[in-house]
Structure 1
Amino acid sequence: MNPLTTHAFDLPERLAAKADPALIAADERHFAAVARCLEQSVAELTDRLDAERRAPGGLGRQAMDRDAEVHRLTARLRTLRRFGLDLCLGRMVGADGTGPVYVGRLGLTDSSGARLLVDWRSPAAAPFFGATHADPMGLASRRRYRWTGGRISDYWDEVFAEDALAGHAALDDRSAFIAGLGATRSPRMRDVLATIQADQDAVIRAGSRGALVVDGGPGTGKTVVALHRSAYLLYSDPRLGHRRGGVLFVGPHQPYLGYVADVLPSLGEEGVRTCTLRDLVPEGAGAGPETDPEAARLKSSAGLVRAIETAVRFYEEPPTEAMTVSTPWADIPLGPDDWAVAFESAGPGAPHNEARDQVWEELLTVLADKHDGDTAPETLRAALGRDRDLRAAFDRAWPLIEAADLVGDLWTVPAYLRLCAPWLAPQDVRRLQRADPRAWTVSDLPLLDAAR
């Protein structure tokens, strides 16, 4: 834990003008309050954690709740001990004269209920990252701090209103962002949160419905944005968090994931799971490198993914002939149109094997709706589900797929590959063929995942 001190500023001689008490005295007073609150919070959390660990574990849900509380308290305590006053990223002053509001890696409230730090992921902190001169978002000024060894070694002010200049701001010819990029970085880039800019913040706080693609060249901040977005979603999305959904961060290799695991706690989150692409499919552990660069290029193309989708659709063929399903109460006709209705229930993009149960249940619903008797619905569905002819017809129409067999066949049966990917040139078909269908390479892994 960085040592707590009531003297937060340690500005070098060349920045003597910024050490003017008129500029930093209010911050010093606020940081003194933060220091006292942090010491009290650490002591209280330590006592609560000890009490939880000594408490009886209980059974079932009670044990799960206790373990979850121990995990929550441990994570919070670890973060508070890891940082000190440098939990604070900066402050902002409202154009209406309110503030200053101090933004932190975590929220912090003292014993009287006064909010000392606003969590950077909360809506109240959004202007700190999103305000621009074109859209100040209600701010008069914003100050960002640079921390070195637990003390402020520099700070930058940005003003959005003329009356915010006099006696309140130390203007610099470099923005905090440019200064942050030009400064010596640690390998973990721990303090990058303080340099998040409006366009990056817009991506971080974007809605979580549907896919979000962030495209950019090397060094443009994609990883930084992805890490902050993970922490933000866990904080703000009601579908995530305690005993609900989570975030899976997929990286290219373990050293990269080590970096991710180090940075995320500094953003206030430890609940993100990480893995490499190899970890997503069973074949990943034994997959070797793709030695042919052209084969790797072909397998990474969207066209090969479409070929997998085509191959999967060959296993989704509704019967074209009518049949009759017998029950103890009546015979129910089942025609091609009924099969089509059931197949459409899967929806576009649904994984084949995962959609199988949904299609089966819809097929039973279609049959039950055609029954005119007064048999209880659950009794009728149970009888339909036991019909061997119906089950056999369904297994032929929508069988379970073994992804390894499907992809392996593409690499060993040229005619099958040409059927699924007719746009491939003959030399490309030959290039993708191999003697052992299960000699998996890392380039096969996304295709294996797509086939499931």
Structure 2
Amino acid sequence: MPGHQLAPDIPDKNPDSPPPAPIPGIDPDTVLREERAHLAASRDALKAMREHARSLSADAAGDWVSRQVLQGLLDQRVTALADHPDTPLFFGRLDRAGHDDLPLTIHVGRRHVHDDGSRPMVIDWRAPVSRAFYQARPSDPMGVRLRRRFGFHGGELTAYEDEPLDRSAPRHESRILTEEIERPRTGPMRDIVATIQPDQDEIVRADLSSTVCVQGAPGTGKTAVGLHRAAYLLFTHREKLSRGGVMIVGPNRAFLSYISSVLPALGEVRVEQATVAGILGDHAAPEDPSVAALKGDARMAAVLHRALWLHVSKPEEGLLVTRGINRFRVADHEVRETVASLRGTTRYGPGRAALAQRLAHAVLVRMEQRGESPDDRVQDAVARSKPVKQLLDTVWPRVTPEQVLFRLLSDAEFLARAARSDLTGEERDALVWAKPPRSWKSAKWSAADAALLDELADLIERTPTLGHLVVDEAQDLSAMQLRALGRRCRTGSATVLGDLAQGTTPWSARSWEEVLGHLGFAEGMVTELTLGFRVPREVLDFAARLLPSVAPALAAPRSLRPGPGSLTVRRITDLPAAVTEAVAQVTAREGSVGLIAADAAVPALAAALTAAGVAHEVLGPDSSAESRVSLIPATLAKGLEYDHVIVAEPADIVTAEDRGLARLYVVLTRAVTTLTVLHAAALPAQLAAQADV
């Protein structure tokens, strides 16, 4: 498989490096006044653009349906042009050398803004000319003389930095860039459009035809990169993707709520977001993890294929159709040949319909042989006739995915015929229900069953496809779940995001080549992000002690942020008291707070916080955290980030599940400012070498 690793051209941060020196001959106060005036004018222009869009009418459309469609598009345009006062319209500026017809000065922002004369005031960050803002460097200035970054507080422009892209100019660390990356966060995930790094930008701007798989260590921004790639593709291939659509698939609804504001902030309001359960069916019947892992195995695809087609039987009789006083017979051998020619060469549903038409055509041939002149209407009538329907119901019966799977899991003999040598006897015994439900209608399906039902549904009728699919935390999906997602973009492409070290399910992937193969994109490009921007180095190094145990093949991640003092590991005796004390300490600082514990410990900790008068919210699978302090079950922590994270009793998180060390690795890497680890029991051996601090 083709693949490569991107190497970012970013030095380790030096907090003592001086800020960029002012450019001689330029008065900073004058520059700020001019840029603030441009910001105010840009906001006025955006308001005018929105009012113009609001004034447009759908009445010009010819019919009611067209008017409704056009009105929907106009409403979306108005929504996309909304101005958010706390979000700056632009975050950068390029002063170009001027060797083409483009403007010499370009302000780069989240969306395009033009004045009443159609002159651009802000250029969309996704436009080709804006690429230089992310990629230009002294060794390759890309036609840019100077790059300017802006600092904002809320929506107010407060500072700027100039970076001459001259080989002779000394390189300085951008404090504005650093402060934006490190800015405390509350509420949903923010876009990273102002801080995209060159290696991230390469992934974001990958062509629509390319399927890209991103192995991203914690804090490398892989989720944000995937979301920004979706926004970039919608901008670049608007017409094509408006037909096929774009979907973001996340691990749970809490995660989707966390990322829900990113694309709207970039002006994209027509992107569907869903969980795997939301796509395949929200089935949640309890099931032994080993059985769920077996159902998720790729071998089940062949088993299901045979199980479906075993419902097609060999015809024993021919077909006799009576029309008026005439009788027309299709011999049994001809019926068998027709069934054999269709069996397994098409999907089950269309094959059944095709069999009816071919049998009807055979009858029409006999009618013509007798001098009649039947047309297509006669053929359709014959295909719907009682004798043809009876033969179809006997030879090629109509079935649903639930009927097929019910038979497979309740009939050991049928399962053995469908499995052949793909499953062992022990595996077949594990799959068959000990106490089958009375019928398929009363069956309670599990999450693993949902992927099997979806596979069968696609074998019966083709699944509609999307233009592009973004799949996050893909390492936790089974082969059958990956197949289900892959067929939803079989004519499009995908962005696959995840971290093999964070795999926490019994079927977690061991390689991205395996994941891409199950998705149907074996030729996809695999790239790796190992440079973290959010998680402090001290915290990341602590968590990385677990890597040799959970993902020994992966390179250890590194962080740009040294974060001295960001890690506290403390042994305690009274966990509830220590937790409430730690929460009180971090809430005195700016930023969001996440208290993460083993799922079973959450009720007791919630009671302790309530008793101490600490306002908090317990995060559930369907909730969106609105409180500043969130209490998070460890199984829901994946993909979330908090400024201050308190981890309660790591040993309980490890022992709660088979891949507990991987779960703990996830939990320890949720912090972007400070991490406090509280433990009464001994730390896992992999972490014990870190002395309590």
Shift of 1:256: 0.9
Q: How does 1:151-170 map to 2 (within 5 A)?
A: 151=157, 155=161, 157=163, 159=165, 164-165=166-167
Alpha-carbon distance between aligned partners in 1 of 2:317 and 2:137, rounded to the nearest angstrom: 65
Per-residue Cα deviation, 1:312-364 (whole angstroms, up to 9, x for no partner)? 23245675987577778996965555445555763xxx5x44x4577468747
Size of the aligned set, in residue pairs, is 420
Alpha-carbon distance between aligned partners in 2 of 1:101 and 1:139, rounded to the nearest angstrom: 12
Q: 1:336 to 1:137 in 2, by over 3 A?
A: farther
Which residue, 73, 76, 81 being the options, matches 1:72? 76
Alpha-carbon distance between aligned partners in 1 of 2:40 and 2:118, rounded to the nearest angstrom: 16
Q: Does 1:423 align with 2:422?
A: yes
Q: 1:300 to 1:94 in 2, by over 3 A?
A: farther
Alpha-carbon distance between aligned partners in 2 of 1:436 and 1:304, rounded to the nearest angstrom: 20
SS of 2:118's partner is: coil
1:379 corresponds to: 377
Which residue, 402, 405, 423 being the options, matches 1:404? 402
2:21 corresponds to: 17
Alpha-carbon distance between aligned partners in 2 of 1:361 and 1:205, rounded to the nearest angstrom: 49
Shift of 1:275: 2.3
Per-residue Cα deviation, 1:242-276 (whole angstroms, up to 9, x for no partner)? xx442232222111111232111112201112222
Alpha-carbon distance between aligned partners in 2 of 1:142 and 1:313, rounded to the nearest angstrom: 66
Alpha-carbon distance between aligned partners in 1 of 2:163 and 2:299, rounded to the nearest angstrom: 50
2:232 corresponds to: 232
CA contact (8 A) 1:129 1:198 kept: yes
Q: 1:190 to 1:389 in 2, by over 3 A?
A: same
Amino acid at match of 2:414: Y
Per-residue Cα deviation, 1:380-438 (whole angstroms, up to 9, x for no partner)? 43234233333333444543332223223333333333333333333333333332452
Farther-moved stretch of structure 1 (113-122 vs 183-192): 183-192
Q: 1:409 to 1:65 in 2, by over 3 A?
A: closer
Q: 1:342 to 1:304 in 2, by over 3 A?
A: closer
SS of 1:85's partner is: coil
Structure 1 unaligned regions, length at least 5:
1-12
Q: 1:125 to 1:374 in 2, by over 3 A?
A: farther
Amino acid at match of 2:125: W
CA contact (8 A) 2:106 2:123 kept: yes
Q: 1:47 to 1:427 in 2, by over 3 A?
A: same
1:8 corresponds to: none
CA contact (8 A) 2:189 2:260 kept: no
1:265 corresponds to: 264
CA contact (8 A) 2:110 2:125 kept: yes
SS of 1:428's partner is: helix
Alpha-carbon distance between aligned partners in 2 of 1:21 and 1:369, rounded to the nearest angstrom: 92
Q: 1:390 to 1:57 in 2, by over 3 A?
A: closer
2:278 corresponds to: 279
CA contact (8 A) 1:190 1:263 kept: yes
Farther-moved stretch of structure 1 (213-222 vs 355-364): 355-364
Alpha-carbon distance between aligned partners in 1 of 2:146 and 2:26, rounded to the nearest angstrom: 16
SS of 2:46's partner is: helix
Q: 1:31 to 1:154 in 2, by over 3 A?
A: closer
Q: Does 1:307 align with 2:303?
A: yes
CA contact (8 A) 2:319 2:387 kept: no
Alpha-carbon distance between aligned partners in 1 of 2:353 and 2:66, rounded to the nearest angstrom: 34
Q: Does 1:60 align with 2:64?
A: yes
Q: 1:82 to 1:344 in 2, by over 3 A?
A: farther
TM-score, with structure 1 as normaliser: 0.72
Which residue, 92, 104, 108 being the options, matches 2:109? 104
1:9 corresponds to: none
CA contact (8 A) 1:104 1:117 kept: yes
Alpha-carbon distance between aligned partners in 1 of 2:363 and 2:40, rounded to the nearest angstrom: 68
Alpha-carbon distance between aligned partners in 2 of 1:205 and 1:400, rounded to the nearest angstrom: 46
Q: 1:357 to 1:70 in 2, by over 3 A?
A: farther
SS of 1:240's partner is: helix
Q: 1:50 to 1:118 in 2, by over 3 A?
A: closer
Alpha-carbon distance between aligned partners in 1 of 2:198 and 2:312, rounded to the nearest angstrom: 47
CA contact (8 A) 2:342 2:351 kept: no
CA contact (8 A) 1:156 1:170 kept: no
CA contact (8 A) 1:57 1:66 kept: yes
Choose between structure 1 and 2: higher helix proportion. 1
CA contact (8 A) 1:317 1:398 kept: yes
SS of 2:445's partner is: coil
Alpha-carbon distance between aligned partners in 1 of 2:50 and 2:425, rounded to the nearest angstrom: 67
Amino acid at match of 1:101: I
2:412 corresponds to: 414
Which residue, 82, 85, 99 being the options, matches 2:88? 85
Alpha-carbon distance between aligned partners in 2 of 1:158 and 1:365, rounded to the nearest angstrom: 77
Give RMSD over aligned pairs.
4.6
Q: 1:338 to 1:356 in 2, by over 3 A?
A: closer
Per-residue Cα deviation, 1:41-66 (whole angstroms, up to 9, x for no partner)? 3145247537869x999972254046
Higher relative contact order (CA 8 A, sep 6+): 2
Alpha-carbon distance between aligned partners in 2 of 1:314 and 1:208, rounded to the nearest angstrom: 40
Per-residue Cα deviation, 1:128-175 (whole angstroms, up to 9, x for no partner)? 5566889x594446747364423365657484xxxx456xx7732479
Choose between structure 1 and 2: higher strand proportion. 2
Structure 2 unaligned regions, length at least 5:
1-16, 438-442, 458-693
Q: How does 1:423-442 map to 2 (within 5 A)?
A: 423-434=422-433, 435-437=435-437, 438-442=443-447
Q: 1:119 to 1:309 in 2, by over 3 A?
A: farther
2:255 corresponds to: 256
Shift of 1:197: 4.3
Farther-moved stretch of structure 1 (112-121 vs 17-26): 17-26
Alpha-carbon distance between aligned partners in 1 of 2:352 and 2:141, rounded to the nearest angstrom: 49
TM-score, with structure 2 as normaliser: 0.50
CA contact (8 A) 2:148 2:161 kept: yes
2:630 corresponds to: none
2:149 corresponds to: 145
Amino acid at match of 2:80: R
CA contact (8 A) 2:234 2:241 kept: yes
Q: 1:172 to 1:397 in 2, by over 3 A?
A: farther
